[in-house]
């Protein structure tokens, strides 16, 4: 058969994961190019599988595995992470690889046993620095609590200088290319940025600490194979990008997001955008019901300023804007300049809620811009000037 083939990653190490071409939603993160679930088999004296796939892709994984080895002979299953896009197929795999020992963190064991009936499973729990010899290769484990679940860990294959990083450094993209340079390194970095912005953004400090720890442990990394997307043969680039994103290193860029009922808030959004652009900063303008929130958060990750606009409806913020504020508050962007704007009919109120959400995020919050019903020419000039002021602040 010439399909569902494994891909050799290193001598005797194969990708045996699955491509999910059609998935578009990953717990409310838009993944418009689908995704992959990457499982890796290591052929050695003690055959080892690192991670599995989503349950409905079990057969696809098994078919790929059969082309390199007999899955019933797996001796260790490394479960780097409990989330079911990686552990979903575990119970079914255990029916095939009956004697396989599951290797995970203590939190991993707890989590797996809440998801599956694990009474008859043998576990080996590991901590950072623990080693497991599987034959000519040695696995070293690295706990990564809250990157992005309490149970998360990575597995390092010493002799290969290969980091099997699970979610970290991943990208939600389905592709037949398995390596960054085949797929396009810049393109892969762009997908990795969207992934970071929508999954790892709240954990920047932990990301930095972990990168420093890896440096201190002296783990040389020649290749990073995450559990989603393509494999990094150029790890320096993605490691450098993670440092930059974890630091919220930002550009002179304003992200304007808004929704509108009768077009007034939209007029303000456009005037603010033009004002900022005319003062020489990059501007990205998004409509909250037409544009992807995942794309918006990707742009916010490295923007210096964010303007959020909403009409007032029933004395409060317009529901799509409220939803977006909840999404943004969860992801906790840091060190931004923020401003609220919007139109209202009689009582107002939306801009206050937006400003409050931005204050909670510790943005430097400017005075909001609010107009009654339709913006006049003078009010549009004020909006333009607000954009220009934001631009000046960014360039200071
Ligand atoms: Fe890819 Fe946290 O699961």
| CB 350 within 8 Å of CB 312 | yes
Confidence of residue 27 (pLDDT cuts 50, 70, 90): confident
Which atom of ligand 1 is found nearest the CA of 152? 2
Ligand 1 neighbours, Cβ below 6 Å, are: 81, 83, 85-86, 148-149, 167, 227-228
Q: How far is the CA of 148 from the centre of ligand 1 (A)?
A: 8
**Beta strands per DSSP E along 345-385:** 364-365, 369-372
What average pLDDT does this structure show over 142-151? 96
Determine the Cα–Cα distance for residues 197 and 195; give it in Å rounded to an integer: 6
Would you state the pLDDT for residue 132? 98
Residue 1 confidence (pLDDT) above 70: no
- 155 vs 139: CA distance, rounded Å: 6
> At a CB cut-off of 8 Å and minimum separation 6, what does 285 contact?
256, 257, 269, 270, 273
- Would the pLDDT of 188 be above 80? yes
Determine which one of 20, 60, 76, 81 is catalytic: 81
Q: Is there a catalytic annotation at residue 27?
A: yes
76-78 and 101-104: which strand pairing? parallel
Tens of pLDDT, residue by residue over 32-64, are 999 999 999 999 999 999 999 999 999 999 999
39 Cα: distance to centroid of ligand 1 (angstroms): 12
- Residue-level pLDDT at 6: 97
Q: What is the mean pLDDT of residues 79-105?
A: 97
Q: What's the DSSP call for residue 49? A: E
Which atom of ligand 1 is nearest to 170's Cα? 1
Asked if the model's pLDDT at residue 208 lies above 60, the reply is yes
Please state the atom number of ligand 1 nearest to the C-alpha of residue 199: 2
Looking up tokens 């043998």 gives 122
- The model carries a pTM of 0.96
**Does 343 score more than 80 pLDDT?**
yes
Q: What pLDDT score does 238 carry? A: 98
Q: How far apart are CA 138 and CA 1, in angstroms?
A: 33
Look at 209-218, 264-273, 353-362 and tell me which has the smallest mean pLDDT. 209-218
The residue annotated as part of the active site, out of 44, 51, 60, 83, is 83
Q: What percent of the chain has pLDDT over 70?
A: 99
> Partners of 37 in the beta sheet?
18
User: What residues form DSSP beta bridges with 394?
Assistant: none
Among candidate residues 228, 242, 259, 266, the one labeled active-site is 228
Cα–Cα dist 342/264, whole Å: 8
Helix (H) or strand (E) holding 258: strand 251-258
Neighbours of 201 (CB within 10 A): 23
User: At 232, is the pLDDT very low, low, confident or very high (cuts 50, 70, 90)?
Assistant: very high
Alpha carbon separation from 374 to 317, 342, 343, 350, 351 (Å, rounded): 17, 10, 7, 16, 16
Residue 85 Cα to ligand 1 middle (Å):
6
Distance 167 CA to ligand 1 centre (A): 5
Q: Percent of the chain at pLDDT above 90?
A: 96
Three-class SS state of 97 = coil
Give tens-digit pLDDT for 247-290. 999 999 999 999 999 999 999 999 999 999 999 999 999 999 99
Give residue 28's pLDDT band: very low, low, confident or very high (50, 70, 90): confident
Known catalytic residue: 167?
yes
Q: How confident is the model at residue 369 (pLDDT cuts 50, 70, 90)?
A: very high
What average pLDDT does the structure give for the chain?
A: 97
Measured between alpha carbons, how far is residue 264 from residues 15, 287, 322, 370 in Å?
A: 52, 13, 18, 10
Q: Find out whether 349 and 322 touch, Cβ atoms under 8 Å.
A: no
With a cut of 60, say whether residue 211 has pLDDT above it.
yes
- Residue whose Cα lies nearest atom 1 of ligand 1: it is 167
- Which pLDDT score is estimated for 2? 62
Catalytic position from the list 195, 242, 258, 344: 195
């Amino acid at each position: 058969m010439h399909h569902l083939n494994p891909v050799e990653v290193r001598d005797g190490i194969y990708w045996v994961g699955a491509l999910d071409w059609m998935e578009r939603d990953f717990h409310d993160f838009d993944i418009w190019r689908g995704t992959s679930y990457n499982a890796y088999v290591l052929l050695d004296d003690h055959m080892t599988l690192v991670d599995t796939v989503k349950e409905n892709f079990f057969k696809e994984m098994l078919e790929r595995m059969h082309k390199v080895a007999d899955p019933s002979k797996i001796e260790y299953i490394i479960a780097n992470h409990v989330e079911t896009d990686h552990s979903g197929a575990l119970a079914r795999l255990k029916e095939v690889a009956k004697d396989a020992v599951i290797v995970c963190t203590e939190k991993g064991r707890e989590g797996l046993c809440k998801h599956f009936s694990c009474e008859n499973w043998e576990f080996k729990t590991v901590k950072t620095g623990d080693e497991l010899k599987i034959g000519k290769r040695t696995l070293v484990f690295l706990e990564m609590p809250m990157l992005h679940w309490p149970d998360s860990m990575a597995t390092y294959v010493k002799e290969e200088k290969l980091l099997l990083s699970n979610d970290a450094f991943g990208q939600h993209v389905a592709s037949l290319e398995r390596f960054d340079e085949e797929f396009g390194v810049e393109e892969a970095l762009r997908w990795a940025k969207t992934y970071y912005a929508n999954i790892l953004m709240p954990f920047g400090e932990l990301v930095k600490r972990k990168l420093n720890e890896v440096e201190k442990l002296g783990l040389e990394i020649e290749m990073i194979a995450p559990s989603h997307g393509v494999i990094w043969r150029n790890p320096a680039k993605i490691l450098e990008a993670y440092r930059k994103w974890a630091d919220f290193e930002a550009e002179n860029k304003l992200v304007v997001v808004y929704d509108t009922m009768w077009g007034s808030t939209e007029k303000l959004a456009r005037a603010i955008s033009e004002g900022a652009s005319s003062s020489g900063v990059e501007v990205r303008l998004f409509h909250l019901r037409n544009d992807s929130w995942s794309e918006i958060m990707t742009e916010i990750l490295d923007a210096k300023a964010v303007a959020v606009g909403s009409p007032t409806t029933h004395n409060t913020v317009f529901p799509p804007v409220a939803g977006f504020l909840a999404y943004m508050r969860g992801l906790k962007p840091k060190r931004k300049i923020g401003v609220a704007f919007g139109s209202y009919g009689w009582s107002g109120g939306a801009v206050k809620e937006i400003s409050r959400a931005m204050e909670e995020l510790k943005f430097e919050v400017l005075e909001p811009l609010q107009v009654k019903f339709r913006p006049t020419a003078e009010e549009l000039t004020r909006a333009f000037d607000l954009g220009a002021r934001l631009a000046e602040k960014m360039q200071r």
